[in-house]
Structure 1
Amino acid sequence: MRLKFIKPQEPVLALKPPVSNGWLCEIKDDGCCTQIIFDWAGALTFTRMGIDRLKRHRPVVTAAEQLKAKSFIPGGEMIARPGGRPNFHAMYSRMAWNAELLAFVAFDILHKSGEDLRWRPAVERKAILRELIQPAEGIVQCSQHVEGGVEIYEAADRMSLKGIVSKRKVTPYRSGAKDAVWLKCWDIDFELIGIKRQPGEWTERLFARHVKNVGKAVIAKTDAIKNWLWT
């Protein structure tokens, strides 16, 4: 029987990074949440919602199949790096036209060589992941981490990166959970420059940062807040 997709654990948004050493903190890449499953029948890739993306990720899958383990399930992000920096929009172009320029950055591992690793503390899973993916370069990579989040968060901000994700060192992996043992912290200081409304469509907010358009987001708030935004 083949290994099955595991619903990912998700972080919650935090305004400030953790300051204690009980956390593993790493850069949040600008990509698409992806899970690779490798077993006796080969490798598959899935999105956060469990959608099969094998055809789009073929070069990454081929590289993953060379890792030295009988089976494994790492969680991570599929990224594109034009000019050396992860770029979410470029990723979709790479999947459509230049899939060989994609890379997979693993940040957790849920299964290896017949063992379910989800019960193990995050710090142990990280060590197993590093052992599997060495060196941490090339088309399949291993996300690096530090303990304590303030300095890495400030560094990410200086480099205009998306932000950081912090995980408590001693916690197991909780499939489908979304609680404060995983935190995501990034710069959310955007300017609201407009509201887009069309009959029968989602109402969207338009944002800018440093006078540059940075995109849009659906308004998923109460009717009172929606009314306040466009009055």
Structure 2
Amino acid sequence: MGKRAKVDGDRLEFIPPQMPTLVEQPPEDEGWVHEAKLDGYRTQIIIDNGGVRLYSKNGRDWTTKYWPIALAVELPCRAAILDGEVIVSGDRGTPDTPELEAAIWNEPSRLVFVAFDILHLDGRNLVPLPLLQRKQALRQLIEPGLGKIQYSEHFEGDALAIFRAIEKTGLNGVISKRADSRYRSGPSKTWLKARYSRKPISNC
């Protein structure tokens, strides 16, 4: 069925991720919510009758690489597709890409999955729903705390103030998303990525 998940009872299929467009600064008009940009690896968790599987953003099965996360998935659902990021906390408590690469091979127990979207839940395709409805369903699924499966909070209000506040935490940017947008695989103008670097924007 292409980019949509199969109905409950079959093995769910990987859905190509929605990718944000890089911009100089977050949008300041209304209708957007903002999340901290994490320095990790984009990952999709699929839960169904076949168990738990984790995929890279290109659809490669990385379950064996992320095995501690796969073992930790105990959510109150029969089937789900979660979109998020695999990270490892650095010395300052912020995600750290070099440490993540090292942890995958040497200390996989340090890996954490931070979920920021849900695309399927117990036989229901959530892709057409507005972002905030999907976030609400995701929030009800994941218990608060610092476990291996965490929820990515979003913020509303002054985008630049949020941008500067997140910068002080040591994170490197903000992902802004249209609150009323559906999930669309591929490059997107309803998800925008603003970094703190002053270097010119490139496509790399």
Q: Common fold, TM-score beyond 0.5?
A: yes
1:57-81 alpha-carbon deviations (Å, 9 max, x no partner): 11111111x1110111110000010
Given that 1:26 and 1:152 are in contact with CA atoms closer than 8 Å, whether structure 2 keeps it comes out as no
Match of 1:68 among 62, 76, 81: 76
In structure 2, do the counterparts of structure 1 residues 136 and 150 end up closer, same or farther at CA, with 3 Å as the change threshold? farther
Given that 2:88 and 2:103 are in contact with CA atoms closer than 8 Å, whether structure 1 keeps it comes out as yes
Over the residues paired in the alignment, what is the CA RMSD in angstroms? 1.6
1:139-161 alpha-carbon deviations (Å, 9 max, x no partner): 10000011132222101222331
**Higher Cα radius of gyration:** 1
Cross-structure match for 2:136: 127
1:172-227 alpha-carbon deviations (Å, 9 max, x no partner): 00122x12111000112149xxxxxxxxxxxxxxxxxxxxxxxxxxx879xxxxxx
Match of 2:42 among 33, 37, 61: 33
In structure 2, C-alpha distance between the alignment counterparts of 1:97 and 1:74, rounded to whole Å: 26
Equivalent runs, 1:76-91 vs 2, <5 Å: 76-83=84-91, 84-91=93-100
Under a length normalisation based on structure 2, what TM-score does the superposition of the two structures give? 0.89
- Displacement, 1:137? 2.4
Match of 2:170 among 149, 152, 160: 160
| Paired residue type of 1:12 | T
Q: Secondary structure at the match of 2:166?
A: helix
In structure 1, C-alpha distance between the alignment counterparts of 2:98 and 2:151, rounded to whole Å: 22
Match of 1:55 among 45, 57, 64: 64
Cross-structure match for 1:24: 33
In structure 1, C-alpha distance between the alignment counterparts of 2:203 and 2:116, rounded to whole Å: 29
Match of 1:174 among 173, 184, 204: 184
Under a length normalisation based on structure 1, what TM-score does the superposition of the two structures give? 0.79
Q: Secondary structure at the match of 2:112?
A: strand
In structure 1, C-alpha distance between the alignment counterparts of 2:194 and 2:90, rounded to whole Å: 24
In structure 2, C-alpha distance between the alignment counterparts of 1:96 and 1:39, rounded to whole Å: 27
- Displacement, 1:82? 2.5
| Paired residue type of 2:198 | D
Structure 2 unaligned blocks of 5 or more = 1-9
In structure 1, C-alpha distance between the alignment counterparts of 2:116 and 2:67, rounded to whole Å: 20
Q: Secondary structure at the match of 1:107?
A: strand
In structure 2, do the counterparts of structure 1 residues 58 and 121 end up closer, same or farther at CA, with 3 Å as the change threshold? same
1:112-134 alpha-carbon deviations (Å, 9 max, x no partner): 11111000000100000100111
Given that 2:81 and 2:119 are in contact with CA atoms closer than 8 Å, whether structure 1 keeps it comes out as yes
Cross-structure match for 1:4: 13
Q: Secondary structure at the match of 2:27?
A: coil
| Paired residue type of 2:32 | W
| Paired residue type of 1:175 | S
Match of 1:150 among 141, 155, 160: 160
Cross-structure match for 1:138: 147
Given that 1:25 and 1:167 are in contact with CA atoms closer than 8 Å, whether structure 2 keeps it comes out as yes
- The structure with the largest strand share of the pair is 1
1:118 pairs with 2:146: no
User: Paired residues, what number?
Assistant: 192
